[in-house]
Structure 1
């Protein structure tokens, strides 16, 4: 790992660091976010080809997705606190460079067991980006650009559900499933180089023991100003993944092509989020989170109540996704602002809980989809309403 060097004794104090360049940071962080979370979804179109090659049942192949998700969530608890100790840029650049290697190794898998183990490792190294990137933006971006950057990165995480599958489908159709991971490995190497060039160097946020960040976790989880926000967090991506999984399991969206079309139909909302967020910047983060979760809750309830056709469903999904995309940066802003010097650790906990919720989402959909999309939509609406209530209490 690349560690920052210590200042020489007697040297002049370092000048106040400049703000991160807006356009370059936006492009590189969005590209990295699409690649990173795209690994969770990109394997889905490849499961059939993998199963045929390894003669494995579909039930076993689903672990190719779950294994990455487990490693991804666990890695958040490692890299965010480490970035408090060693600095943001060294952690992100080293982690993404390592991801280029772990992604290439998946392409060399000789069997399903080996591939699952490598997918866990790939998830862990990929996790170096998200929590540290959020903290870096909060610390180094110009204040007026922070909401836009946060929203753009969150939007890229959501858009990766479409990007990852489309990219994997296209590459696999031409060169096979192993080529997908090879191409992604090259892409990770390129963005690692870009991140090293674009991100500002900086001294570590803390100078104590690396364990200090982990010792701060119990206190953060017991902080009465943070508890409601952390409790509301799993609903954000959990509801997003559950609803789209439910669309597939219930057949309400039609076939696979129709489902992919509906996912793509939500892209206008995702693309609009970075432009809308600066307009809402004057509204306190907890209040924005309450309003955004309420928007998603109402949209989910209307999906269950109205049984809309394809066009109506696409419109309601846009509103639902807009709510999700606006909630996450508002929660990051609020949690980071209330965590003080433990900002990196607090954001890591947020990201961990966020993606644990995403991992639980398919299980919720699997348990409720047998009763139809309406029942699932009503349950998600209730959970989102509960989340909105929690963020409302956090304002106090």
Structure 2
């Protein structure tokens, strides 16, 4: 790959209407809908966690089977990013997003009607694949149609919504299953998918797709190029490890039984909500740091919380605070990796961000499996395992910085 592609920070092409003037989206109308769509889409991964006991009782299934309900969705979700991300540019962001929301509604209904774990796992892969069409279309639209001065806040807000779904989806799911059958969660989600599909069609600008006169395979040609951006690859691994920690910790809480009672679990989950409100407000001061520094800061904050949790994990109030700190640290990492992918990807911004989100949910696929392996040894073992993953993430971040500086020096010397 040519070195200019590695270092360019060019934004994706801007499109204009018939008047020749660039048509910007109305941020105040568009962003809330995107935030809700991101919450609902990613939240589908986490809604089964509070439903584990009800689903197991309904199906007479083993506890170990339930972790695959999470991993199956993450697997399909990751694949959806790569499959549909390039198509968003080819056919139009509004068209792909609207279709994705409607298809997600159908598959989510079917998931809620599953009669056994085997059927549920297969449907969860299909659900993840359909829902995986949503985030790339949103992020590409933000990168091209949102007013430039609003993009940083918009990007962080949407990226934070992906992370906030970890907690918010569990809170909603836990509240619903306390009064209704567990299948209600999926059926209700399907209804909201339809409502959002109708809404995004109204608030988004007309599509300005590119490359439709080229063969279909051309839309995917950018993905191999992205995978040859050597400075980006370690950061993608760092993002994957951080997402594995995010999903692994909350899955482990359910499996270890360190907290008993729905009230205590709800308190643990709700304790992180203020952090998600704070993260977008930190976008401007954090922007003063390099992306590598932001990732390193997030990793160190999250790792410190996990180390402390190994000693104080049995105290509910302390654990609630530590989980909030953990989420805060991880919430810094995700947007930084996404923005790095967009910058390093250059004109392949949409593909690069799709690959970045793919890497996140590869990590999310692994997270529940790691939690299932560590949980039988207690919460302390789970916390130490997550700490090791975070240290690996820090190592990958440092490696990415070294590779980027080496490549920069080589390019300058060649010039």
Give the shorter-chain TM-score range: 0.7 to 0.9
Counterpart Cα distance in 2 of 1:75 and 1:363: 21
Alignment of 1:389 onto 2:394: no
Work out the number of aligned pairs and report it: 385
Which blocks of at least 5 consecutive residues in structure 2 are unaligned?
Answer: 1-16, 406-415
180-189 vs 297-306, which moves further: 297-306
Asked if structure 1 preserves the Cα contact closer than 8 Å seen for 2:72 and 2:365, the reply is no
Asked if structure 2 preserves the Cα contact closer than 8 Å seen for 1:137 and 1:146, the reply is yes
- Note the alpha carbon deviations across 1:323-376, whole angstroms, 9 max, x for none: 211211111111111212211111111111101101111222333341634532
Q: What's the CA shift for 1:306? A: 6.1
Alignment of 1:319 onto 2:325: yes
**Match for residue 297 of structure 1?**
303
**Match for residue 8 of structure 1?**
none
Counterpart Cα distance in 2 of 1:390 and 1:34: 32
Q: TM-score, normalised by structure 1?
A: 0.88
Asked if structure 2 preserves the Cα contact closer than 8 Å seen for 1:293 and 1:324, the reply is yes
Alignment of 1:275 onto 2:281: yes
196-205 vs 74-83, which moves further: 196-205
- Note the alpha carbon deviations across 1:132-162, whole angstroms, 9 max, x for none: 2122212222222222222222222222223
Which blocks of at least 5 consecutive residues in structure 1 are unaligned?
Answer: 1-11
Q: Give the alignment's Cα RMSD to 1 decimal.
A: 2.5
User: In the superposition, relative to structure 1, how do residues 363 and 78 fare at CA in structure 2: closer, same or farther (>3 Å)?
Assistant: same
Q: What's the CA shift for 1:26? A: 2.0
**Match for residue 107 of structure 2?**
102
- 1:380 paired residue among 381, 389, 410: 389
Alignment of 1:358 onto 2:367: no
Q: What's the CA shift for 1:127? A: 0.8
Alignment of 1:16 onto 2:21: yes
User: In the superposition, relative to structure 1, how do residues 140 and 34 fare at CA in structure 2: closer, same or farther (>3 Å)?
Assistant: same
- Note the alpha carbon deviations across 1:91-145, whole angstroms, 9 max, x for none: 1111011111112223343444433332222211111111221222122222222
Counterpart Cα distance in 1 of 2:97 and 2:156: 19
Asked if structure 2 preserves the Cα contact closer than 8 Å seen for 1:93 and 1:195, the reply is yes
252-261 vs 311-320, which moves further: 252-261
Counterpart Cα distance in 2 of 1:93 and 1:258: 38
**Match for residue 221 of structure 2?**
215
358-367 vs 124-133, which moves further: 358-367
SS at match of 1:283: coil
218-227 vs 333-342, which moves further: 218-227
Counterpart Cα distance in 2 of 1:58 and 1:347: 35
Asked if structure 2 preserves the Cα contact closer than 8 Å seen for 1:253 and 1:310, the reply is yes
Q: What's the CA shift for 1:15? A: 2.6
SS at match of 1:202: coil
